Chain A
Amino acid sequence: MKQFQYICPTTQQGVLDVINKPGTKIIAGGTNLVDLMKRGVTAPDKLVDINHLPLKSIISTPKGLYIGALALNSAVAEHELVARQYPLLAMALKAGASPQLRNMATVGGNMMQRTRCGYFYDTTMPCNKRAPGSGCGAYEGVNRMHAIFGGSSQCIAVHPSDMCVALAALNAVVIIAGKKGERRLPFTDFHRLPGEHPEMDNHLAANELIVGVEIPNNHFAANSYYLKVRDRQSYAFALVSVAAALDIENGIIRHARLAMGGVAHKPWRLFDAEQALAGKPVSEDSFKQAAQLAMQGAKGYGQNAFKLKLAPATIAEALKHAAGLA
């Protein structure tokens, strides 16, 4: 690993004052960044440790739940309020990484983690995300894990998070601090599609810091499910994952929320399928129809074409679990 300078500011202002400089990176849990530094994928000159900022709280607010950016993934997953009111988030978190990693990884860091695309990690290979303009090795290469939605000729990498899929489905809001104060960004607008600039994973500016996320109150707690399909039963990234949340009254779906992981450069909300489910009776037929609708625009790139069948099956299955039919 390349040498770097380490600083540990104790105030948010102290962090904002230094993070804008080129070659500077924020470190929180470090589970992804330290790995990327060991592999030479990233080589910062300066690391800014933000662990001394008071951003670990998980608190109930009149509007919902506030989770500080430095709250540990394990702390959120095990939190009583999360288990009771937002079980979808707890399930997604527990499906991610390992107990050890969840004890290190933070909510903000989880959002900022990079893709696990093999070409991104291998510095001898072309990758537009790591080295803009060098090409995309995955497009016609080893792309079994890659995107079926929203890809571009520049990049078909997927965002690896489980937590983010649940937060996208729950209409969370990201609270971001900058020099001019705070701004709020819908979670679904935080991550971006690769387009012509796959080097940019999200819309966080270099001089900004994630301070927390808010999840609005909802009526999904009784009927939500996170289903993750992967190569082994635990401790593996998703081939396809689905966060499903239903608000059901007398056997009729009032509102539905659906998001997928492992299929796009960002957590992929299934807005059309959600709309189609609203007002429908709880039934396997409704779920299968919604799943087919969700697949519009999907595209396979060779090795990952199996996801075109796996994804709708996973959506329907997750909905069945959420509705209590499975």
Chain B
Amino acid sequence: MKSNETVNGPDGDQDVKDTSRRNFLKQSSLLTAVALTPGTAVKAAVMHVDEKIAAVFEKMPLKMEVNGKPQKLSVEPRSTLLDILREQLDLTGTKKGCDHGQCGACTVHVDGRRVNSCLTLGIMMSGKKITTIEGLANSDQLHPMQEAFIKHDGFQCGYCTPGQIMSAVACIREGHAGSEHEIREYMSGNICRCGAYPNIVNAIQEVKDGGQTV
């Protein structure tokens, strides 16, 4: 008889104007890092792991395309795509919500596919094409999904909105916006704590029904 046992065995940022607080935070964390360095180095030397530390602390080159622009960067292997976009490229439209792949606020497109940038290591994006919320509009012309979110009041606080919009565009491109039920299922990776879901669904349905190219 067969059996199952047979085997052995948030920071709310106003993107352009209010950069001073972010700069302050960056500078202060840099100072903290400098202050900590001597102790860490001494400990490392005592433990004879300095070479090992040097190897892992080394930044690595990363080339990727972000919103149509080639970027040459130097990144720590542990940096997520989300942190690189926000901290190194100042593309703060992509939000850090849960930072654990549970809320969808960090949704971006990689080679046309929507992903959670908080669970994506930047170093693994070599040669990839990234699109963020900043890359969706055509200069001053909003993307139809952005227009629809405004028209249908698809947000309240707005924090989840960049992720919602990136996901909504992908949802239509994937062919998963055929009905309200399908939209709700295929938008389930984006959480909205304000509860704007009905309006988000309406916005997506309008763009889908309008037949515009997204």
Contact = CB atoms under 8 A, between A and B. Distances in A.
Interface in B158-198: 167, 170-171, 174, 176, 184-186, 188-190
A129 to B, nearest CB: 16
Given A4-B78, A101-B101, A34 B121 contact: yes
Contact of B104 (A31, A49, A98): A98
Given A100-B107, A188-B4, A1 B120 contact: no
B2 A31 contact: no
Contact of B116 (A104, A189, A264): A104
B4 A3 contact: no
A39 B101 CA distance: 13
A103 B77 CA distance: 21
Given A3-B76, A104-B116, A149 B4 contact: yes
Interface string A131-152: 0000000000000000001100
Given A98-B104, A234-B185, A192 B7 contact: yes
Interface in A257-307: 264, 266, 268-269, 271-272
Given A4-B77, A47-B77, A99 B171 contact: yes
Contacts of B189: 97-101, 235
A118 interface: no
A151 to B, nearest CB: 12
A3 B9 contact: no
Given A4-B56, A268-B4, A99 B101 contact: no
Contacts of A98: 104, 188-190
B107 A27 contact: no
Contacts, number: 107
A150 B76 contact: no
A3 B176 contact: no
A271 B57 CA distance: 52
Contacts of A233: 185, 188
B119 A264 contact: no
A203 interface: yes
Nearest to A49: B124
Contact of A271 (B2, B119, B167): B2
Given A150-B5, A192-B7, A30 B77 contact: no
Given A3-B76, A4-B77, A100 B115 contact: yes
Nearest 4 Cβ contacts at the A-B interface: A98-B189, A234-B188, A6-B77, A235-B188
8 contacts: A3-B56, A3-B78, A30-B119, A35-B100, A99-B189, A100-B115, A100-B189, A104-B115
